[in-house]
Structure 1
Amino acid sequence: MTRTPETPLPSPQERRRLREAQSLSQADVAAAVGVTRATVRSWENGRTTPCGSKRDAYARLLTGAEEVTTHQENPAPALVGSATGPVQASPDHAETTPEPPSETPPASELGPEPKPELAPDPEAELEPLSAPLTPDQAFDALYAFCAPALVRQTYLLTGRRELARESVERAFQLAWHRWPEVAMDRDPAGWVRATAYEFALSPWHRLRPRHRNPEPPPTAPADRALLDVLLQLPPVYRRTLLLYDGVGLDLPETAAETEASTPAAANRLLHAREAVAKRLPELAEPKALHRRLAEVASAERLRAAKPTTVRWGGEQRARHWTRAAIAFTVVLIGATTLTLRTAPDHYEPPLAPGATVHGVPPRVAPGPLSAEELALRAKLKGETVSGPERLVPEPG
């Protein structure tokens, strides 16, 4: 059998330009093709590529062959990007069946608190400007776009407010330290999110004194019950559930971010949903779980620090570690120099150990002289120093 060639698609940057040239939003394209906004964003970032009938429909839409009915001017913001449908797994493979985006929950009764959401709205992306952004402005724009939702996500991942703020700040500080690499990444928001999750789930936090005692749980009993169920899941299951049912990523993106295969990510998601539904039957539906995750995170009113503070903290941390590295290098050079100056420069054989000598008679002190010895001594003393005179023969 011959395989039908796939419909050619433009480059990711060209896809976004063609969409904007037709005055279409990502939500319009998602509704026309039958996917989620997160999937359209992934197509435009170049992380994934459509296939099959969706590829043909997407290609026709970009070329303007089909008309799209635009949404209302002020659509209600999604809770966590987009809701996803149930996952069906078989022994051989696992695949997902997307469902329509979840409806917006009623407005919060807590005053001016923003509507619950865990993922930034794709429509909030910055429009291209005539003048290029400086690195500071680009970083601040990324931080304002991602940080508020990322703090809430990390709180659901760890159950600790301070750790959630610290994880997001450390992730953005590392992003500022590696800004050229992050700025050129296909998905800077995903890069920061993965870094924040890795720091938040690090097992070394359990050795810190302030993390040995649990933080106060949420005040609402329903929120406390859901957070307890999430924290009882294994970290990798909790992260998969949050990315798929919370943030709104599709299954391949979730598998890629958790460094797992797509079937493995699907099985983890199924087991996590079963564990939640067993404790909380009212959250068996993905839509209900999607909504409750956003409500629990938004009820805490977690605030992220200002981007200037994060950049300043990252620069201070970099200076601190640079000075510490210089000091360590100086100490190492000094120790090496001292060793070279004090070390011996030639071989000195070691002294042989002492040995006991046997057979030597003991030393005896002199006793009293006899009469003969006394006479001899007197005779010797009476002679001249040079001895007795010699007899010299005379010539005859």
Structure 2
Amino acid sequence: MTNCHANPLPSPTEGRCSGTAAALTRNQTVDEADGALTPAQAFDILYAFCAPALVRQAYLLTGRRERACRSVERAFQLAWQRWPEVAHDRDPAGWVRAVVHECALSPWHLFRRRGHVPDPLSDPADRALQRALLLLPPSYRRTLVLYDGVGLDLPETAAETEASTPAAANRLMHAREALAARLPELSDPAELHRRLVRLASAERLGAGEPAGVRTAGERRTRFWTRSAIAFTATIIGATTLTLRTAPMHYLAPVSPGHTVQGLPAQGMLGPLSPEALALRAGLRKEAAGGPERLAPEPR
């Protein structure tokens, strides 16, 4: 298992890291590193020193090479977007490691194709350990990797997993018991650490170039910024159109028509009586000449 603070499995390039890179991982800010560095240079040094170890840690948490590399790249993209905050953090490497673990254990990966299927391993012992690790709850798995793999002490493990120290100790104890129940030889913490280191080194895991990660992060930021601007413009346009076309006063709805029932059919009244004929003739005559003028009678 590897760690940005103390790397027990250094690659040849990691073994030749400069003193500046070491300063970036000893709870110092970037401004305290040796020499004057540009933000891009400081980021590249931090990435080159920590990314290989973080990929192996994420692989222990997920069992998937692709997801481990994607989690590390996403974490460093977020670090580059918030570089002033990360650069002045007390522990830049710890900041990135926490984001890597959060990304690796995100439940959204279950919706991906083969998101929960680990990569096959050739060694039966490594395959058994990987299966036992993945059967642990994510919080237990992360606590075990941080304590028995990375080598953090219990308060640091609790702080990074956002738990109290007793809760972290309880998770660690139950995780060890679950592993020992499936693999009795792992009841020894030293043997558990050795097997975690071997499992993390079982696959050829590599990280991308820091310049590519920075470029991808900037491109992602531009995309979401433009998307937010377009969405805001759409909302403003829809609101303006609604205000221009919506009625400014209340319009009473028109009642629907109803069929009148119970009227006699036309033509069924029969011939008119002589009185009705005389009344009709008188009405027609008055309609043609106009009604008589009414005048008040004097008293």
TM band (smaller chain): 0.7 to 0.9
Change (3 A) 1:78 1:161: closer
Specify which of 66, 84, 90 is matched with residue 186 of structure 1.
90
Change (3 A) 1:352 1:246: same
Map of 1:320 onto structure 2: 223
Deviation per residue, 1:54-87 (Å, 9 max, x gap): xxxxxxxxxxxxxxxxxxxxxxx8637xxxxxxx
Deviation per residue, 1:112-159 (Å, 9 max, x gap): x938x9xx9999604866641110011111111110000000000011
Specify which of 187, 190, 197 is matched with residue 101 of structure 2.
197
User: Alignment length, in residue pairs?
Assistant: 261
Specify which of 279, 285, 288 is matched with residue 182 of structure 2.
279
Correspondence 1:329 to 2:228: no
**Following superposition of structure 1 onto structure 2, how do residues 236-315 of structure 1 map, counting pairs within 5 Å?**
236-315=139-218
Q: Secondary structure at the match of 1:132?
A: coil
Specify which of 313, 338, 342 is matched with residue 241 of structure 2.
338
Specify which of 11, 14, 25 is matched with residue 114 of structure 1.
11
How far 1:274 moved relative to its partner? 1.5
Specify which of 161, 165, 185 is matched with residue 69 of structure 2.
165
Q: Secondary structure at the match of 2:201?
A: helix
Higher helix residue share: 2
Q: Secondary structure at the match of 1:295?
A: helix
**Following superposition of structure 1 onto structure 2, how do residues 28-47 of structure 1 map, counting pairs within 5 Å?**
none
Amino acid in the other structure paired with 1:250: D
Answer whether contact 1:151 1:302 (CA < 8 A) is retained.
yes
Change (3 A) 1:114 1:350: closer
Correspondence 1:233 to 2:136: yes
How far 1:254 moved relative to its partner? 0.3
Take 2:146 and 2:188, find their aligned partners in 1: how far apart are those partners? 16
Correspondence 1:155 to 2:84: no
Take 1:152 and 1:264, find their aligned partners in 2: how far apart are those partners? 26
Structure 1 unaligned residues grouped into runs of 5+: 1-37, 42-76, 81-112, 374-396
**Following superposition of structure 1 onto structure 2, how do residues 73-152 of structure 1 map, counting pairs within 5 Å?**
79=8, 114=11, 125-126=22-23, 131-152=35-56
Amino acid in the other structure paired with 1:306: E
Amino acid in the other structure paired with 1:233: L
Take 2:7 and 2:81, find their aligned partners in 1: how far apart are those partners? 32
How far 1:209 moved relative to its partner? 2.3
Amino acid in the other structure paired with 1:125: A
Answer whether contact 1:273 1:284 (CA < 8 A) is retained.
yes
How far 1:367 moved relative to its partner? 7.7
Change (3 A) 1:304 1:130: closer
Amino acid in the other structure paired with 1:79: P
Take 2:262 and 2:75, find their aligned partners in 1: how far apart are those partners? 84
How far 1:361 moved relative to its partner? 7.2
Q: Secondary structure at the match of 1:211?
A: coil
Take 2:54 and 2:242, find their aligned partners in 1: how far apart are those partners? 52
Q: Percent of counterpart pairs with the same letter? A: 65
Change (3 A) 1:114 1:146: closer
Take 2:258 and 2:144, find their aligned partners in 1: how far apart are those partners? 80
Normalising by the residue count of structure 1, what TM-score does the alignment of the two structures yield? 0.59
Answer whether contact 1:246 1:294 (CA < 8 A) is retained.
yes
Answer whether contact 1:78 1:121 (CA < 8 A) is retained.
no
Take 2:34 and 2:175, find their aligned partners in 1: how far apart are those partners? 47
Answer whether contact 2:133 2:141 (CA < 8 A) is retained.
yes
Take 1:344 and 1:198, find their aligned partners in 2: how far apart are those partners? 51
Give the structure with higher Rg (CA): 1
Answer whether contact 1:174 1:314 (CA < 8 A) is retained.
yes
Map of 2:286 onto structure 1: none
Larger RCO: Structure 1 or Structure 2 (Cα < 8 Å, ≥ 6 residues apart)?
Answer: 2
